[in-house]
Amino acid sequence: MEASRFQEKVNFIWSIADLLRGDYKRADFGKVILPFTVLRRLDCTLKPTKEQVLERHEKLKVQGMDDTKTAEVILNNITKKYFHNISNFDFERLKDEPDNIGENLRHFINGFSVNARDVIEHFNLYYHLERLENSNLLYLIVSRFAEIDLSPDKVSNLEMGYIFEELIRKFSEQSNETAGEHFTPRETIKLMVNLLFNEDSNLLQKEGLIRTIYDPACGTGGMLSEARNYLLKLNTDAKLEIFGQELNPESYAICKADMMIKGLDPNNIKLGNSFTNDGFTSTKYDYMLSNPPFGREWKKEEKEIKDEHEKMGFTGRFGAGLPRINDGSILFLQHMISKMQPENGGSRIAIVLNGSPLFTGDAGSGESEIRKWIIENDLLETIVALPEQLFYNTGINTYVWVLSNRKKSWREGKIQLINAVDFYKKMRKSLGEKRHEITEEQIEEISKIYGDFRNSEYSKIFDKEDFGYYKVTVERPLRLNFQAGNDRIELLKEQRAFENLAKSKKKDEKEKEKEIEEGQKQQKEIIQVLNNMDDSIYQNREKFINVLDKAFKNANVKLTATLKKAVLNALSERDEEANICYDSKGNPEPDPELRDYEIVPLKDDIYEYFEREVKPHVPDAWIDESKTRTGYEIPFTRHFYKYEPPREPEVILEEIKELEQNIQDNLKKVLGDA
């Protein structure tokens, strides 16, 4: 279709929305116009076989087979589509009875087969039909749509797809506050698709090519459509089988309708939660791409996800680990990885994530373990940092991750970071939080940087091990002095074990009172023994314990192990000059307050690093090997940091003087007006 004819169709349908002004908010225009566009396209598509379908339906009715799956197959075979309609009405006949427009239109909609009716129901169109009737708009809307010919011989499936996508985009932009929930900016999708298919450009031009693509949070299907468009431009004979799942009913309806309009199988689009109700449990895909919601809590799905993680491990989807509950975007990535083809050429993934999955979580945390699993299995190929203020509902920094289990030989064991934060132009008019867009030329440039796979100002190539590290626990010995002085004896009264002596859990009041009295007596005896000891400072714990034991033995006062620990805690203070405290096995006891952690690059030897970086400063330190953890993080901005020298003091001073002058001038104006 020529660009002028394409825009003409879009403009005509867009103009119908003008009828809704006053009765609908602009943000809601699409809720009426999009389902009516679908209805009109389906109506035009079925027109050539309409009479045949009605005749055959009557025969099936006589045979008592009209409401069976066999009937659906038979009638779909007549239309050669995934749908049919058994109503006597079409848009032309609907115009003939203005007074019965509502009833007849409902009859027309109910005449569709299951697939088409499912789309209409999830558009919530029946609600809008009543609303349009009450506003005397329904007949006008139907009449205007009857004027446009959307039959396949006039508008091909590909062209109709373009028209529908453009309408989706325009209506999404009208709804700035919710656009980001259902709509990814077109230029971002184009870049992702470029990155997804870039390495396979030769493969994708093969004759008779069939490939599959999947999006677990497909929204209105924009990513899937753009991927299909890309492939068809590259190879008109290629077939890309599309699969998607969406949680939002309206977005699901738009996506499924788009598939029907393009002559694709609408059964491949599922409604539901990809985590708890995976619509494609055993299917693997050649390509996957997605823009899952940022910072989405997964509390609603927590039980099912944790159960799968704990019971199924790596035979399920979430074996690597679970992120914190307030951000489940990286769960989508694990879900997609589980659907990679293990053979047959493998799979490729492109996904948009916020900054959190790059670095959130310490070594051993869920996020770090997920990164570790992805990187150690050499799945991560590239991460591209996108410009900020690129999306409709957030201005935050976002990143495209590209993963593959069939890397090219030169990418094996390597990870490429691309800094594309400055690849944008400012928009003339903002759309919600979206103030920037990536131009076609910039998309090509970023794609070229990716394809060249070279170190440059915008591209850095790393070994996968460069992002790993050991988190090493460095201990230092506990050194304490001890003194039975008045101040420290007072601290004993705050020790829980000592306090509990004068408490009772008995229910009988007499027994309770008796137990408390005995405890108080014991407290006094302990304090008395300590007061009778000399108040010398001991810098050796063993010597002090011997003195303490002797004092209690001479006083004939028993001290349980728990109480003895409480006494030692109260009477001790940290002392750098004191002797080291040893455990029963003769090993130095670590001091929790002096415990420290070292982050050692994975490529370094831990003990060489320790001798070089730690020992010279704290000679008595040692490594607790049992606590060493391996972690992974991707400190993206650090690798592209550019030092900017501070401005000269004279320049700053001049700016301050200028600001002060402006303030004084404004004050004079205000006071003058007053």
pLDDT recorded at residue 177:
45
pLDDT tens readout for residues 540-579: 999 999 999 999 999 999 999 999 999 999 999 999 999 9
Residue 237 has φ and ψ, to the nearest 5°, of -90, -5
Which one, of 395, 393, 397, lies nearest residue 419 by Cα?
397
Using CA atoms, how far apart are residues 333 and 352, in angstroms rounded to an integer? 10
85, two tokens: 């309609």
Helix/strand/coil (H, E, C) string of 67-115? Answer: CCHHHHHHHHHHHCCCCCECCCCCHHHHHCCHHHHHHHHHHHHHCECHH
Q: Any idea where the domains of the chain sit in the sequence?
A: 1-151, 480-574
Using CA atoms, how far apart are residues 194 and 67, in angstroms rounded to an integer? 46
Distance of CA 416 to the CA centre of its chain: 21
Contact in structure between 279 and 245 (CB atoms under 8 Å): yes
382, two tokens: 């590239």
Q: How, if at all, do strands 269-271 and 239-246 pair?
A: parallel
Strand partners, 290: 351
Which one, of 327, 415, 328, 336, lies nearest residue 376 by Cα?
415
* 3-class secondary-structure state, position 264: coil
Using CA atoms, how far apart are residues 503 and 499, in angstroms rounded to an integer? 7
Strand partners, 270: 245
Cα–Cα distances (Å) from 9 to 15, 157, 417, in that order, read 10, 14, 42
Strand partners, 215: 244
* Backbone region of residue 636 per phi and psi (left: phi > 0; alpha: psi in -120 to 50; beta: other values): alpha
pLDDT recorded at residue 48:
93
Q: DSSP character for 540? A: -
pLDDT recorded at residue 156:
80
pLDDT recorded at residue 326:
87
Query: DSSP letters along 269-333, please?
Result: EEES-TTTS-TTTT--BSEEEE-PPTT---STTHHHHHHHHHHHGGGSS-TT----TT--HHHHH
Using CA atoms, how far apart are residues 588 and 580, in angstroms rounded to an integer? 7
pLDDT recorded at residue 236:
82
Residues, the chain, total? 674
For the chain, which ranges sit under pLDDT 70?
A: 1-5, 158, 173-183, 393, 431-432, 672-674
For residue 48, the one-letter residue type is P
Distance of CA 642 to the CA centre of its chain: 29
Q: What is the chain's Cα-based Rg? A: 36
Strand partners, 481: 573
Using CA atoms, how far apart are residues 247 and 300, in angstroms rounded to an integer? 13
Using CA atoms, how far apart are residues 627 and 377, in angstroms rounded to an integer? 24
Buried b (16+ CB within 10 A) or exposed e, 307-346: ebbeeeeeeebbbbbbbeeebbbbbbbbbbbbbbbeeeee
Helix/strand/coil (H, E, C) string of 144-207? Answer: HHHCCCCCCCCCCHHHHHHHHHHHHHHHHHHCHHHHHHHCCCHHHHHHHHHHHHHHHCCHHHCC
